[in-house]
């Protein structure tokens, strides 16, 4: 039985997919958004309880206004159109990041979906939006300072100030499109995660690709700094 409970994914390659298919970048992002449901269904079949997707980083605001707007419209569409499916499948939607940065039209629909699925107790889909690992740590420190906490901060107590302290750390990080970097994603939470990189672009990453990643994870000996012999 696999110990894999939580998979985090850096969904990379939408732009390259669009270029390879001779279509606008917005179409690449649209195709990428369609893969979310495919991968979430596959994760459910594999017994993976938590899936966290790097959907929009703090750095992504630097992209062209047209591309950012297209991504925000996709977020609004996802929150609205996928809600019945999430309710049907008992999926809980969560979000981490500096959510107040998200434009109101998209944020309202997103938070409505979060609220309506909040009682669901099946798989948990977490979207990292306007998210940065360093920003999360800075926000946690500022929360500690705001509370004027005079007690000693430990790793365990610090965790309580992160965006989603109740969600277990990812067992496996998957990055599509072959890039070999964390890109400021879950810097605290990924400390002991296994990493799997594939050259497959996100719009082409489906059930079989997820199975390959899980099989690779299951072959690894996770020591967490210790030794078995």
SS3 170: coil
Pairing status of strand 124-131 against strand 92-96: parallel
- Catalytic residue flag (residue 60): yes
Give me the helices (H) in the chain, please. Answer: 14-20, 25-45, 65-81, 83-88, 104-116, 133-146, 155-159, 207-218
Question: Which residue do the tokens 């669901």 mark?
Answer: 120
| Active-site residue, 184 included | no
The catalytically annotated residue of 41, 60, 169, 204 is: 60
How many other CB atoms sit within 10 Å of the CB of residue 122? 13
Catalytic residues: 12, 60
């Amino acid at each position: 039985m696999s110990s894999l409970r939580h998979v985090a994914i850096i969904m990379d390659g939408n732009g390259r997919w669009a270029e390879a298919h001779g279509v606008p970048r917005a179409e690449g992002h649209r195709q990428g958004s369609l893969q979310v449901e495919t991968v979430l269904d596959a994760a459910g079949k594999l017994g993976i309880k938590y899936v966290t997707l790097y959907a929009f980083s703090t750095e992504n605001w630097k992209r062209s206004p047209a591309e950012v707007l297209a991504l925000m419209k996709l977020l609004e569409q996802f929150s609205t159109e996928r809600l019945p499916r999430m309710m049907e499948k008992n999926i809980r939607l969560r979000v981490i990041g500096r959510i107040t940065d998200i434009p109101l039209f998209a944020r309202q629909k997103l938070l409505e979906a979060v609220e309506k699925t909040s009682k669901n107790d099946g798989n948990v889909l977490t979207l990292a939006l306007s998210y940065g690992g360093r920003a999360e740590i800075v926000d946690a420190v500022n929360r500690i300072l705001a509370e004027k906490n005079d007690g000693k901060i430990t790793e365990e107590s610090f965790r309580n100030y992160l965006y989603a302290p109740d969600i277990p750390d990812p067992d496996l990080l998957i990055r599509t499109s072959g890039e070999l970097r964390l890109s400021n994603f879950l810097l605290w939470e990924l400390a002991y995660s296994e990493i799997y990189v594939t050259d497959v672009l996100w719009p082409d990453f489906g059930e079989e690709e997820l199975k390959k990643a899980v099989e690779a994870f299951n072959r690894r000996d996770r020591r967490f700094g210790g030794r078995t012999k």
